[in-house]
Amino acid sequence: MTEITNQQAAIDRTGHSDAPQGAEHIHALIILVEERPGAVDRVVGVLRRRRANMQALTLGQSGLSDSSVASISVLMSDSEVGIDHLVEQLRKIVDVQHVVDLPYQPSVGGELAMNKVISTVENANEIIDMLFGTRVLEITPETITLAFSTLKRVEHSQLLPPSSE
Amino acid sequence: MAGSAILCESLLREGVTVMYGYPGGAIMPFYDALTSYPALHHILVRHEQAAAHAADGYARATGKVGVCVATSGPGATNLVTGLATAFMDSVPMVAITGQVARPFIGRDAFQETDVIGVTQPITKHNFLIRSTDEIADVVHEAFQVARSGRPGPVLIDIPKDVQLAKAFYCPPAIGESHQQTGDDAVPSPYLVARAAQLIAQARRPLIMTGHGVILSNAYEELRAFAEKTSIPVIATLLGLSAFPDTHPLHLGMPGMHGPAHVNRAIGDADLIIGVGLRFDDRVTGKVSEFAPHARLIHIDIDPSEMHKVKVATVPIVSDAKIALTALTEVVQPADHSVWLNEIRGWQQENERRQGSIKREQERPDPASILSAIRAATDGEAIIVSDVGQHQMWTARFYQWTRPNSHLTSGGLGTMGFALPAAIGASMGMPGAPVWVVAGDGGFQMNVQELATLQQEGLALKVAIMNNGYLGMVRQWQQFFHQRNYSETPITGPDYVKLAAAYGLTGMCITRGDEVEAAVKRAMETEGTVIIDFVIESEANVYPMVAPGSGITSMIEETAEEDA
């Protein structure tokens, strides 16, 4: 008879990678919910109850042809095991139609910032030259408003440690 | 048709025959329509909390969806404890609350509460009905959600003007649902085969059954599986009565107040097959010391329970009945008598040790009260226990044989649950004797429901285990707070006079040798009987695992303790 130890049992676990428990990563979740009263509340409620370490939370139209679906994007930091459990809890919400954990798929991420800079008529060109690549949205005699954006393709491997397979 | 009538029609269509509630301003149109629907039997409770518990007790006893009704504001907030209780224990329930008329919502109207917001974390789902023509569909969906997958309470909030407005009633097609319920989810053959492989390798396996087996009505399937594999069976608090206590493979309840041999078996097991349970902290104790040598096959209908507490080697997301049937087909018959005998050896050793402690008491003994109830009802009674010491004694000392005969608030631990829940249970199971077992503290929390019993002419038998203390808290104070009995001594009324005041029968039993006769007399007496058993004031529940400890290190009864 071979002794079965817990060590073996741990390696054997199904449905999980070997990412160590407790190791936190940034995860981007996209949650599609049916727009009914309280639907968004419930999603945020689950995040609140779990004291999710959120870095960004946005709410918008899903972009699907069906306009009754809202899309909630959450950027948060948690362990893989924690995120998996959160995703399952979110999927239990009746109005939630779909939950995607982006780091599991190649995706495009980006940031957009708009800055208003104090300027004079004399130094306006200098500012625009200095910040080459930005987009000028507005120029007034006192200010210039500029838009900065970054877009990058995020690969699976950048967010998660290399898998053992 | 007015919204209120559509609501009644919709309830009838879902098979509702009984509901518990309390009228008030914002729900008055519904109550007005109700008199035209005699098939909907409404029970007037004395406090909305009791309406929720009664609907809960009805649902637990019958497996059908329990229904409770309250008005807006205070009526709805009084339901909250009952909804939370049902949510923690996965009980299918629909709560209907009135709401102020739509133009007043959000304007701090009289008796306005944001009930959708308040109940959001303690319901499986909730609906604010926005127009009268939504009613039929929403009611149908609410019942679907409540009973599908892992069941739970659902709340429907209906503004008063929506109840009054008229619309065409279009009954939704029964069975039509866009929800994925998971009820018919077939477990993957790969996982079933993998589970069978682990079962074949195991030398010290255990089956742990929880509420899921009762919810999916899988008694026979569990029994067939256990008998084919000869694996001993442990039942959690809410899993009690899923597997007969008289069965040779039955071991007992695990966890904080489980007998030592059960917890020791978990400590030594090399495989746990958990069916329909969620590894609550009262079961596991310190998780790292729970089943340290065991792999886990976890069967549950709720995917979010997988790996939540213990990582499952084989997670099977499925209804218990379907999964057990599939597993039983592929497993090989086995013999685990060596392992079972080893556990029985520990059990006998413990029982010998306990037996050597002399108990000289005149007072009624909790265990003998429970065996007297069992004897007087041939084990056919439905026992509804409250929360506290008596709850653990009931779980341990009553011999469970009738499937689903044990109803209690397990997850939330709601004192005051038993009496109203028993009202629901007795209406759901007419003909079955229903016994309430409660402490003197919990009984007084919803004691007003004696009037509901009286008005409805229901016959419950109530055993109060009266020790003049909030006993479980007192026990913790004794063990962990140096006997600092802060605010746990509690007085109560004369229960015999109280019973008489409500037109019921009361008895007070102070001697152990009177217990059997009193219970028999209660069974022979028509109507509701309340027996006040004055028990030992500082009796304890043994053994006990200190919170946060591993379950194999237990506080056991010693001879000095009771001396």
ipTM for the predicted complex comes to 0.84
CATH code for the part of the protein at B189-347: 3.40.50.1220
Residues of A within 8 A of B153 (CB-CB) are: none
Local confidence pLDDT in tens for the 165 residues of chain A: 344 343 333 333 334 445 555 677 788 899 999 988 889 999 999 999 888 888 889 998 876 666 789 999 998 888 777 888 899 999 999 999 999 888 666 677 777 888 888 888 888 888 888 877 788 888 888 888 988 887 666 554 444 444 443
Q: What is the pLDDT, as a whole number, of residue A65?
A: 64
Check pLDDT > 50 for residue B562: no
**A residues 5-34 closer than 8 Å to B (CB):** 5-6, 9-10, 12-16
Q: C-alpha angle B327/B329/B331, rounded to 5°? A: 65
B287 interfacial to chain A (CB closer than 8 Å):
no
Contact residues, chain A, for B304 at CB < 8 Å: 85, 88-89, 91-92
Instruction: Please say whether the beta carbons of B447 and B474 come within 8 A.
Output: no
**Least reliable range by pLDDT among A49-63, B81-95, B333-347:** A49-63
Residues from chain B that touch A49, judged by Cβ atoms under 8 A, are 121
Once rounded to an integer, what is the mean pLDDT over residues B204-213? Answer: 97
- At a CB cut-off of 8 Å and minimum separation 6, what does A10 contact? B311
- Considering only CB atoms, B313 lies closest to which of A9, A37, A38, namely A9
Q: Is A13–B179 a contact, with Cβ atoms under 8 angstroms apart?
A: no
What average pLDDT does this structure show over B546-559? Answer: 85
Q: How far is the CA of B81 from the CAs of B47, B86, B135, B153, B470, in angstroms? A: 12, 9, 26, 12, 20
Contact map slice: A 105-164 vs B, CB within 8 A: none
Other Cβ atoms less than 10 A from the Cβ of B22: the count is: 24
Helix (H) or strand (E) holding B297: strand B295-300
By C-alpha distance, the chain A residue nearest B303 is A88
Q: Is the dihedral of CA B316, B322, B324, B328 positive or negative?
A: negative
Beta-bridge partners for B436: B384, B462
**Cβ-based contacts under 8 A for chains A and B:** 71
* Stretch(es) of chain B classified as CATH 3.40.50.970: 3-164, 362-535
> Does the distance separating the beta carbons of A94 and B125 come in below 8 Å?
yes
Q: Is B405 helix (H, G, I), strand (E, B) or coil?
A: coil
Q: Tell me which fold the domain A22-103 belongs to.
A: Alpha-Beta Plaits (3.30.70)
pLDDT at B132 over 80: yes
Closest by CA to B316, choosing from B298, B296, B331, is B298
| Residue A37 to residue A35: CA distance in whole angstroms | 7
Mean pLDDT of B235-252: 97
pLDDT tens column, A96-122: 999 988 866 667 777 788 888 888 888
Chain B residues in contact with A36 (beta carbon < 8 A)? 127
A82 contact residues in B (CB cutoff 8 A): none
Choose the closest CB to B270 out of A4, A37, A91: A4
pLDDT on residue A19 = 54
Helix (H) or strand (E) holding B451: helix B450-456
Nearest CA in chain A to B179: A94
Token pair of B386 as six digits: 């409250």
pLDDT at B274 over 80: yes
Domain B362-535 is of which CATH architecture?
A: 3-Layer(aba) Sandwich (3.40)
**For chain B, how many residues are written?**
563
Residue type, B409: S
Question: B191, A14: Cβ pair inside 8 Å?
Answer: yes
Q: How far is CA B185 from the centre of its chain?
A: 25
Query: Alpha-carbon distance A85 to B407, whole Å?
Result: 30
CA distances from B54 to B21, B59, B431 (A): 9, 8, 17
Report chain A residues whose CB lies below 8 A from the CB of B289. Answer: none
Cβ B545 vs Cβ B558: under 8 Å: no
Taking the CA atoms of residue A59, residue A60, residue A64 and residue A69 in that order, the dihedral angle to the nearest 10 degrees is 60
For domain B3-164, the CATH architecture is 3-Layer(aba) Sandwich (3.40)
Provide φ and ψ at A87, rounded to 5°: -60, -45
For an interface test with A, the pick among B114, B304, B314, B338 (most A C-beta atoms closer than 10 Å) comes out as B304
Nearest-by-Cβ selection for B315 from A1, A14, A41: A14
* Cα distance between residue B65 and residue B148, in whole Å: 10
Structure tokens at B99: 């709401």
Q: From the list A4, A10, A94, which residue is nearest B311 (CB)?
A: A10
Does the structure show a pLDDT above 70 at B327?
yes
Please give the helix or strand (H or E) that residue B75 lies within, else none.
helix B74-78
Q: What is the C-alpha separation between B449 and B52, in angstroms, rounded?
A: 12
Residues of B noted as catalytic: 48, 110-111, 160, 472
* Mean pLDDT over the full length of chain B: 94
Neighbouring-strand partners of residue B127:
B156
Please list, in sequence order, all residues whose beta carbon lies within 8 angstroms of the beta carbon of residue B332, skipping any fewer than 6 positions away.
Answer: B196, B200
Q: Phi then psi for B186, rounded to 5 degrees? A: -90, 125
Beta bridge partners of A75: A28, A56
In what order do the strands lie in the sheet containing B93-99? B41-44, B18-21, B66-70, B93-99, B153-159, B125-128
Would the pLDDT of B181 be above 80? no
- What token pair was written down for B406? 């044990």
pLDDT at A64: 66
The tokens describing B203, both together, are 């030398």
Helices (H), B312-417: 320-330, 337-355, 366-377, 389-397
**Which chain B residue lies closest to A50 (C-alpha atoms)?**
B121
- Closest Cα of chain B to A153: distance in Å? 31
Q: What does the alpha-carbon distance between residue B201 and residue B204 come to, in Å, rounded to a whole number? A: 9
Residue pair B93/B64 in contact by the 8 Å Cβ criterion: no
Report the amino acid identity of residue B511.
R
Phi first, then psi: what are they for B139, rounded to 5°? Answer: -60, -45
pLDDT tens profile B363-420: 999 999 999 999 999 999 999 999 999 999 999 999 999 999 999 999 999 999 999 9
Record the tokens describing residue B434, joined without a space: 């229903």
Q: What is the chain B residue with the closest CA to A14?
A: B313
Distance (Å, whole) CA B520 – CA B372: 8
* B442 has pLDDT over 80: yes
Residues of B in Cβ contact (< 8 Å) with A85: 304, 307-308
Point out the least confidently predicted range of A41-55, A61-75, B35-49, B302-316.
A61-75
* Longest distance between any two alpha carbons in chain A, whole Å: 87
- Angstrom distance (rounded) from CA B211 to CA B253: 13
Burial of B471 (0-12, 13-18, 19+ CB in 10 A): buried
B54: left (phi over 0), alpha (psi -120 to 50) or beta: alpha
* Average pLDDT score over residue span B447-453: 97
Burial group, residue A138, by CB count within 10 angstroms (0-12, 13-18, 19+): exposed
C-beta of residue B46 within 8 angstroms of C-beta of residue B455:
no
Rounded to whole angstroms, the Cα distance separating B43 from B39 reads 13
Of the candidates B126, B292, B315, the beta carbon closest to that of A15 is on B315
All structural domains of chain A with their residue ranges: 22-103, 109-154
Distance CA B472, CA B278 (A): 24
Report the percent of chain B where pLDDT is more than 70. 97
Q: Tell me the average pLDDT across B211-227.
A: 97
Chain A residues in contact with B125 by the CB 8 A cut-off are 93-95
Give A14 to chain B, closest Cα distance, Å.
6
Residues 80-139 of B with CB under 8 A from A: 116-117, 120-121, 124-128, 130
**pLDDT at res. B497:** 98
> Residue A22 has what pLDDT?
60
Helices marked H in chain A: 6-11, 39-49, 80-92, 124-130, 156-159
Residue of B123, B270, B288 to mutate, interface with A, max A Cβ within 10 Å: B270
Please check whether residue A98 touches B, CB under 8 A.
no
- Listed in sequence order, the residues at least 6 apart from A44 whose beta carbon sits closer than 8 Å to its beta carbon are A57, A72
Residue with the larger pLDDT of the pair A83 and B228: B228
Residue with tokens 């002794």: A3
Find out whether B100 and B159 touch, Cβ atoms under 8 Å.
Answer: yes
Nearest Cα residue to B96 out of B158, B140, B151? B158
Among B295, B303, B307, beta carbon nearest to A9: B295
**Cβ atoms of B2 and B29 closer than 8 Å:** yes
Q: How would you class A91 by CB atoms within 10 Å of its CB: exposed for 0-12, middle for 13-18, buried for 19 or more?
A: middle
Among A13, A18, A66, A95, the residue to mutate for chain B (most B Cβ within 10 A): A13
Structure tokens at B21: 């509630």
The stretch B495-509 carries a mean pLDDT of 97
Which of A77-81, B243-247, B270-274 shows the lowest mean pLDDT across its residues? A77-81
Q: B61-70, B163-172, B548-557: lowest mean pLDDT where? A: B548-557
Q: What are residue A36's DSSP bridge partners?
A: none
